[in-house]
Structure 1
Amino acid sequence: MTFVPLVSTQEGMAMSSKFPIRPAGLLLVGVLGIPGVAEAHVKWFCGPIDGSAPPLPVGQVVTLLFLELFAIFVGLVMLGAMLDTVATRVAGKLAVDPERAGVASDVIVRAGVAVYALCLWGNLAVVMWADPSSGSLLTPDLYGAGPALGYVQLATAVVVLIPRLSIFAAAALVGLYLMGVAKFELFYMIDYLFFLGIAAHLALGSPIGSRLAISRYRVPILIGSLSLSLMWTAVEKFLFPQWTISILVSHPGITAGQAFSTVATIAGFVEFSLAFYLLAGREILGRVGAILLGIVFVAAMPEFGMLDIVGHIPVILILVIALVTGETPLQIMCRGSDSGMLISGWKVGRAYVATLAVLMLLYYGLHALSVWTLAKSGAGIF
């Protein structure tokens, strides 16, 4: 089925021109506005979207404002990495007993998934333009689950609390994800890779999965899946700014007087940078990234209500685990093991630039491939 966007790119840019760019107001945007629009899933609030609509051309994305903000955030990320190196050296490694951290992460994931599955079963997370009784598969915009799947969600809430049966909860999450792929296409479901991370964590923490050598990487897999999901949705803010702008139209107070397109771009960089910290931060910066992301999500909840509260339970639980666990082999692999301040700043900055470039190219390429495949098969778009 084809959706119609609430605000087209051209209309959004035209409306944004009503507000002159005031550099002095950028700080106000960061303090007042970003929590309202940097939350990951603007699709839940911007109205039905046209999945076949092309993203903005590169020339309209990489504007002078984009390049200025890009330079600023690269500098901030490099500075953060250097300060992180010094702070870690001075404060020492914030040691966390691996066994206790593993137990804590298991409890957090099981409890969080149980609560979230109950919310899905109770139809508490369905987008406003859908029939609430239709239910949702995994997230508010994946509506149309039907009553039968509600029993799967209810069963998941029960078995996930029983360690010996958690493998079935993992299988249920994977099954719901695959149903989302079948209904909304794989490209659309890239936003929600963290559900596969949660499933992997549950499976590798079960009596069967814990026997595998890879089981010790269940937390890095979990955190990495969320980091990639958030960076992907941050890239969407650059390529499809009209989705964010449609929210700003209905909530103009969070712009702090800045142009809509400016706020959308800033929100994208804020979200991308904080998500990147989950991949590259040391003991301190990784935790800071988790805390700041948590603040962003929680601060958006009063503005967007129950849909936001329920929909982001899985994200919050992973951020709590990242805060509790600290540095994992994932961060060392992405950042390198060098302890020098300058070399750490350089490597993290280089990784930031490369990650942003690769994800933007992947987004353009996979979107074009998805539209071409669907057009060739004659299937509906998303």
Structure 2
Amino acid sequence: MSSKFPIRPAGLLLVVPLSIPKAVEAHVKWFCGPINGSAPPLPFRQAVTPFFLELLILFVGLVMLGAMLDAMITRYAGKLVVDPDRAARASDVIVRGGVALYALCLWGNLAVVMWADPSSGSILTPDLYGAGHAVGYIQLVTAVVVLIPRLSIFAAAALLVLYMLGVAKFGAFYMIDYLFFLGIAAHLALASPLLSRLTVSRYRVPILIGSLSLSLMWTAVEKFLFPQWTISILVSHPGITAGQSFSTVAMIAGFVEFSLAFYLLTGREILGRIGAILLGIVFVAAMPEFGMLDIVGHIPVLLILVIALVTGETPLQLLCRGSGSGILLSGWKVGRAYIATLGVLMLFYYNLHALSVWTVTNAQ
């Protein structure tokens, strides 16, 4: 892809707000048709083009600026004090209610991709179709036991079973997109009376938010390495491209999604919440365009974003950002972490995809 587009990086700031709500659809696999898991990603040299590097420089600059503003606001305005016990209780209620609602929707076959038989049901997400009656019973039981704190560990186990069924049917690599379900299961298990006294239980919210952040950054990397998935949606909805080429919008969408998800990992009291709000707006704004599939399918994502908004900064952000409070130092550390995270995830994607294809080929 050439960098000689009719719009330069500075002008992208005008296009991005127009493209965000629908082009930054985290799970394009729900709408672009059946995915060929053996298809290779774009070679590195075709993915990392001059235009990609221009966007990288632009978004690293924006992320660094945001981190410095975040540090400045925290230094002069102080932190937004949230009682940890109240935040923990609120997160427990949100997770239980959200999982119960979502499990009922799955049991009722309200989220199945358009190219599958709706009566077949979905295992855990709309594209994991072919659930069967036994899976439906697991979903229904999950919706009940998750509302009973003493039984929440069984709800966690049920989510883990559903996730493993997805692995068995679609492969471990495919299920990396949905790591946040493991985060939800861990949250439910650690909130149960059986495990709540363990020291690790205090980290159930950081685990939850971290799993979503990693999932969203992973699907953002997919937009760079499999742009045809996003482009197939843009072809059906050309009005959301703001007059730019499909490949341009797809790449912008990837950087926007990656950056907002990265905020969840590194943001302080202000920036982390802003990231959660903007991601929530992205998902909600896409719902009228994509309908019930999008509404139901993103219930788990939205419940985690609400928890991130309520909780604010956790030990996860301190770990990822570092303890330095200096304004310039914060910007430097966050910018460096952004580049490193993107590079590592792209490296992992290429290698894990190759490993998954090799495993399937040798198993046949």
What's the TM-score bracket when you normalise by the shorter of the two chains?
A: over 0.9
* Alpha-carbon distance, 1:22 to partner: 3.1
Match of 1:21 in 2: 6
Picking from 322, 345, 353, the partner of 1:359 is 345
* Alpha-carbon distance, 1:32 to partner: 2.0
- Matched residues in 1 for 2:5 and 2:345: separation? 30
Deviates more, 1:191-200 or 1:24-33: 24-33
Picking from 241, 248, 256, the partner of 2:242 is 256
* Alpha-carbon distance, 1:28 to partner: 4.6
User: Residue 46 of structure 1: SS of its match in structure 2?
Assistant: coil
- Matched residues in 1 for 2:50 and 2:210: separation? 31
User: Residue 349 of structure 2: SS of its match in structure 1?
Assistant: helix
RMSD between aligned alpha carbons? Answer: 1.5
Report matched runs for 1:11-50 at 5 Å: 21-23=6-8, 26-50=12-36
The one-character-per-residue Cα deviations of 1:276-302 (angstroms, maximum 9, x if unpaired) are: 000000010000000000000111111
Letter of the 2:64 partner, please give it.
M
The one-character-per-residue Cα deviations of 1:299-320 (angstroms, maximum 9, x if unpaired) are: 1111111100000000000000
* Alpha-carbon distance, 1:151 to partner: 1.1
* Alpha-carbon distance, 1:25 to partner: 6.1
Match of 2:312 in 1: 326
Report matched runs for 1:248-287 at 5 Å: 248-287=234-273
User: Residue 215 of structure 1: SS of its match in structure 2?
Assistant: helix
- Matched residues in 1 for 2:137 and 2:296: separation? 19
Picking from 215, 237, 254, the partner of 2:223 is 237
Report matched runs for 1:136-151 at 5 Å: 136-151=122-137
Match of 2:191 in 1: 205
- Tell me if 1:96 matches 2:79: no
Runs of 4+ in 1 over 4 A off after TM superposition: none
* Alpha-carbon distance, 1:20 to partner: 6.0
- Matched residues in 2 for 1:268 and 1:317: separation? 22
Match of 1:133 in 2: 119
- Tell me if 1:337 matches 2:344: no
Given that residues 29 and 254 in structure 1 are in contact (C-alpha distance below 8 angstroms), is that contact kept between their aligned partners in structure 2?
Answer: no
User: Residue 370 of structure 1: SS of its match in structure 2?
Assistant: helix
Match of 1:316 in 2: 302
User: Residue 186 of structure 1: SS of its match in structure 2?
Assistant: coil
User: Residue 196 of structure 2: SS of its match in structure 1?
Assistant: helix
User: Residue 173 of structure 2: SS of its match in structure 1?
Assistant: helix
**Structure 1 residues not aligned, in runs of 5+:** 1-12
- Tell me if 1:110 matches 2:67: no
The one-character-per-residue Cα deviations of 1:249-295 (angstroms, maximum 9, x if unpaired) are: 00000001101000000000000000000000001000000000000
- Matched residues in 2 for 1:28 and 1:43: separation? 27
- Matched residues in 2 for 1:344 and 1:31: separation? 26
Letter of the 1:168 partner, please give it.
F
* Alpha-carbon distance, 1:64 to partner: 1.1
Match of 2:148 in 1: 162
* Alpha-carbon distance, 1:173 to partner: 0.1
Given that residues 201 and 222 in structure 1 are in contact (C-alpha distance below 8 angstroms), is that contact kept between their aligned partners in structure 2?
Answer: yes
User: Residue 244 of structure 2: SS of its match in structure 1?
Assistant: coil
Normalized against structure 2, the TM-score is what?
0.98
- Matched residues in 2 for 1:168 and 1:97: separation? 28
User: Residue 71 of structure 1: SS of its match in structure 2?
Assistant: helix
**Structure 2 residues not aligned, in runs of 5+:** none
Picking from 109, 123, 145, the partner of 2:109 is 123
- Matched residues in 2 for 1:207 and 1:375: separation? 45
**Residues matched between the structures, number:** 363
Letter of the 1:22 partner, please give it.
I
- Matched residues in 2 for 1:335 and 1:32: separation? 30
Given that residues 230 and 272 in structure 1 are in contact (C-alpha distance below 8 angstroms), is that contact kept between their aligned partners in structure 2?
Answer: yes
- Tell me if 1:289 matches 2:275: yes
Letter of the 1:266 partner, please give it.
I
User: Residue 356 of structure 2: SS of its match in structure 1?
Assistant: helix
Picking from 181, 184, 205, the partner of 1:219 is 205
* Alpha-carbon distance, 1:147 to partner: 1.7
- Matched residues in 1 for 2:66 and 2:5: separation? 31
Deviates more, 1:34-43 or 1:108-117: 34-43
The one-character-per-residue Cα deviations of 1:196-242 (angstroms, maximum 9, x if unpaired) are: 00000000000011021100000000000000000000000000000
Given that residues 21 and 259 in structure 1 are in contact (C-alpha distance below 8 angstroms), is that contact kept between their aligned partners in structure 2?
Answer: no
- Matched residues in 1 for 2:219 and 2:142: separation? 27
Report matched runs for 1:55-94 at 5 Å: 55-94=41-80
The one-character-per-residue Cα deviations of 1:311-345 (angstroms, maximum 9, x if unpaired) are: 00000000000000000000000001111001110
Deviates more, 1:22-31 or 1:69-78: 22-31
User: Residue 211 of structure 1: SS of its match in structure 2?
Assistant: coil
